[in-house]
């Protein structure tokens, strides 16, 4: 048994990454290194080495693990430049290549830790400054600016552009307000809100007393998403088509404001999807869309409701300075969900996007229903009430 465990420990499962993401990572790394080499050759001095080899390791982090704390702009820039500076200093003042190289790596790690810019390829950069050939050594401290600084700036700009071209990636990793933080404390859409907070995650990471290559925000999001998947597994198959309102009141772009407002008033609706002639959703108009434009267009009436009535009524004559049709005040683009989407998937839509209505569409993107926060709350309440 012990032997099996030892063998199994050698083959840890990698992170669950799709084939598409793997291809994107490889293609992005190719473009990053190729463009860096191309631009460095055009901007740098012909007598200066073209690139530092540790950029290959940096590209793994920047393009294959762009959400890693070690891949963020300051760890990348600071880690590379500080390590280069440490490496050159060790070469100049410490005799013996082996001692200087070892000390360069050690001091680079220490300096990166102190500067909060730990970047593993920085160790390779520090070692290269000592073990590199005569061509590198002749550059002295200027090597920190070129090729190291030049390479780093170019690759960082490329990473900022390429990583943000693909959905699902965000670079740099900005602070992420978790889903639970976007909701009021009493909201029924929160999944285990009181089970885990940011301070709990920070305390746990400190207790481990090791550098964990993931941010607190990502851990919180993983926990929240895992809770949603757990809920979905326990609920079974409950889809949007099972809870949506099928008799949906809709509007078209050219419908007059008064007609749409009257429909919403009579049916006690807070929002109406705006569709085209093929019943595809092109926007949504809510009560808020009406109210937030009242003060912008009518100032003659002292009372708010008088201004609202004047805004909704059609302006007589041929010219007007206010919106007259619903297409002029609708919100677009609109977030939609498909009828075969599990209702648990609606929770992050409502909470993170801060919306109250989700039009439900079929495979041809035609509107077939509407789900509100109330619909979802009732469905989740029934699920929790049925739990033993």
pLDDT digits (tens, 9 = 90+) for 166-175: 877 779 977 5
Q: Is residue 174 part of a domain?
A: no
Using DSSP's 3-state secondary structure scheme, residue 367 falls into: strand
Quick check: 54 pLDDT over 60?
yes
Residues 6+ apart with CB under 8 A from 23: none
Domains: count for the chain: 3
Q: Is residue 170 part of a domain?
A: no
Residues 6+ apart with CB under 8 A from 370: 244, 245, 248, 273, 357, 358, 359, 360
Residue 179 pLDDT: 39
Claim to verify: residue 61 and residue 127 sit in the same structural domain: yes
CA distances from 145 to 25, 36, 93, 230 (A): 28, 15, 20, 51
Quick check: 184 pLDDT over 60?
no
Residue 9 pLDDT: 59
Residue, of 154 and 215, whose pLDDT is higher? 154
Residue, of 344 and 187, whose pLDDT is higher? 344
Claim to verify: residue 119 and residue 226 sit in the same structural domain: no
Claim to verify: residue 27 and residue 98 sit in the same structural domain: yes
Q: Is residue 310 part of a domain?
A: yes
**Side-chain half-sphere of 184: how many Cα atoms within 13 Å?**
3
**Residue 318 is part of which domain span?**
241-386
* Boundary-marking domain end, from 131, 163, 195: 163
Claim to verify: residue 199 and residue 331 sit in the same structural domain: no
Claim to verify: residue 301 and residue 191 sit in the same structural domain: no
Quick check: 183 pLDDT over 50?
no
Residue 12 pLDDT: 56
With cut-offs at 50, 70 and 90, classify the pLDDT of residue 90: very high
CB neighbours (10 Å) of residue 289?
Answer: 20
Q: Is residue 26 part of a domain?
A: yes
Q: Is residue 150 part of a domain?
A: yes
Q: Is residue 14 part of a domain?
A: no
Residue 185 pLDDT: 38
With cut-offs at 50, 70 and 90, classify the pLDDT of residue 209: low
Residue, of 177 and 106, whose pLDDT is higher? 106
Which tens digits make up the pLDDT trace of 258-293?
Answer: 999 999 999 999 899 999 999 999 999 999 888 888
Claim to verify: residue 276 and residue 379 sit in the same structural domain: yes
Quick check: 13 pLDDT over 70?
no
Claim to verify: residue 187 and residue 284 sit in the same structural domain: no
User: Would you say 337 and 346 are in contact if contact means Cβ atoms under 8 Å apart?
Assistant: yes
Q: Is residue 44 part of a domain?
A: yes
Quick check: 145 pLDDT over 50?
yes
| Among 85-99, 177-191, 330-344, the least confident range | 177-191
* Boundary-marking domain end, from 235, 260, 283: 235
Quote the CA–CA distance of 240 and 250 in Å, as a whole number. Answer: 18
Claim to verify: residue 107 and residue 42 sit in the same structural domain: yes
Claim to verify: residue 225 and residue 358 sit in the same structural domain: no
- What is the pTM (predicted TM-score) of this model? 0.57
Claim to verify: residue 185 and residue 298 sit in the same structural domain: no
Quick check: 42 pLDDT over 90?
no
Claim to verify: residue 294 and residue 264 sit in the same structural domain: yes
Residue 205 pLDDT: 65
Quote the CA–CA distance of 125 and 87 in Å, as a whole number. Answer: 7
The alpha carbon of residue 379 and the mean position of all alpha carbons in its chain are separated, in whole angstroms, by 29
Quick check: 197 pLDDT over 70?
no
Q: Is residue 88 part of a domain?
A: yes
Quick check: 177 pLDDT over 80?
no
CB neighbours (10 Å) of residue 36?
Answer: 26
| Among 25-39, 80-94, 278-292, 307-321, the least confident range | 307-321
> 288 is written with which tokens?
């808020």
Claim to verify: residue 230 and residue 318 sit in the same structural domain: no
* Boundary-marking domain end, from 188, 218, 235: 235
Residue 281 pLDDT: 92
User: Would you say 81 and 149 are in contact if contact means Cβ atoms under 8 Å apart?
Assistant: yes
């Amino acid at each position: 048994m012990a032997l099996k465990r030892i063998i199994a420990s050698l083959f840890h499962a990698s992170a669950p990454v799709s084939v598409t993401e793997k291809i994107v990572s490889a293609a992005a790394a190719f473009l990053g290194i190729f463009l860096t080499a191309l631009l460095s050759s055009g901007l740098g001095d012909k007598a200066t080495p073209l690139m530092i080899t540790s950029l290959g390791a940096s590209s793994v982090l920047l393009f294959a693990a762009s959400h890693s704390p070690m891949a963020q702009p300051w760890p990348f820039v600071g880690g590379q430049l500080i390590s280069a500076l440490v490496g050159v200093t060790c070469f100049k003042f410490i005799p013996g290549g082996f001692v200087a190289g070892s000390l360069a790596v050690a001091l680079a790690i220490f300096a990166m830790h102190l500067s909060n810019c730990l970047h593993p390829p920085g160790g390779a950069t520090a070692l290269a400054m000592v073990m590199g050939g005569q061509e590198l050594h002749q550059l002295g401290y200027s090597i920190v600016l070129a090729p190291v600084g030049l390479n780093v700036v170019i690759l960082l700009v490329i990473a900022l552009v390429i990583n943000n071209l693909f959905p699902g990636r965000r670079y740099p990793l900005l602070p992420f307000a978790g889903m639970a933080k976007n909701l009021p404390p009493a909201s029924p859409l929160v999944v285990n809100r009181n089970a885990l907070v940011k301070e709990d995650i920070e305390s746990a990471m400190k207790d481990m007393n090791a550098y964990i290559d993931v941010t607190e925000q990502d851990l919180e999001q993983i926990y929240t998403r895992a809770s949603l998947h757990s809920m979905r597994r326990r609920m079974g198959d409950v889809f949007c088509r099972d809870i949506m309102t099928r008799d949906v009141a809709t509007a078209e772009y050219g419908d007059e404001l008064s007609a749409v407002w009257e429909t919403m008033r009579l049916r006690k609706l807070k929002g109406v999807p705006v569709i085209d002639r093929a019943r595809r959703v092109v926007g949504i108009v809510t009560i808020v869309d009406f109210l937030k434009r009242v003060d912008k267009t009518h100032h003659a009436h002292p009372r708010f409701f008088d201004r609202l009535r004047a805004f909704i009524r059609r302006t007589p004559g041929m010219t007007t300075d206010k919106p007259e049709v619903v297409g002029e005040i609708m919100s677009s683009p609109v977030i939609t969900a498909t009828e075969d989407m599990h209702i648990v998937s609606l929770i992050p839509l409502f909470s993170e996007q801060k919306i109250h209505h989700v039009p439900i569409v079929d495979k041809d993107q035609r509107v077939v229903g509407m789900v509100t926060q109330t619909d979802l709350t009732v469905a989740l309440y029934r699920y929790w009430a049925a739990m033993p």
